[in-house]
Amino acid sequence: MGNNYIIRRATENDAQQILIHTKKVLIENPHVTGITLGEFNPSLDEEKEWINSHNTQGLLLVAEVNSKIIGILSFHLSPLKRLSHQGIFGMSVQEEFANNGIGSSLIRELLAWAKTDQRVEKISLEVFSNNERAIHLYKKLGFTEEGRFKKQVKLDVNEYLDDIVMSKFIVSS
């Protein structure tokens, strides 16, 4: 696929495509996120509200190929005063477009934006222990493991995953 994608800020006009993207990712990789396909059912208006919530307290990026959203990155700063220097992000890329640098590009765009926003000192994420591809990417981009929630995710009767917390400081700590 090469570099035939663009990264840009999401707008509420992207709501329908973001919903489609998220459902596709939940079908393709049902065990890498806490929400199940059956639990994901926001209305179009709720999705627009979620998109707009990023305007003041974060950043929402989309990756597009041929005007189709194939990846998203959502970053929210904490609204609490004592925690407002940090935020958490989540990201997804459709399987068909994985391993093409899109995830790296989304995170690099987040990091570049964070360096220009004086509020952001620390970026965190949570990743399931079975998502080795994502863990490798995060480490490659300078994120380090801070801890684990053991058996935090229950996939089946006797099948559990750890939830790994990783972070990167944007300013010197």
Contact between residue 73 and residue 5 where contact means Cβ atoms under 8 Å apart: no
Pick the residue with more confidence: 86 or 34?
A: 86
CATH number given to 6-123:
3.40.630.30
pTM value? 0.92
Long-range contact set of residues 153-157: C-beta below 8 Å, sequence gap at least 24: 153/34, 153/128, 155/31
The per-residue pLDDT for range 20-61, each reduced to its tens digit, is: 999 999 999 877 888 778 888 888 899 999 999 998 889 999
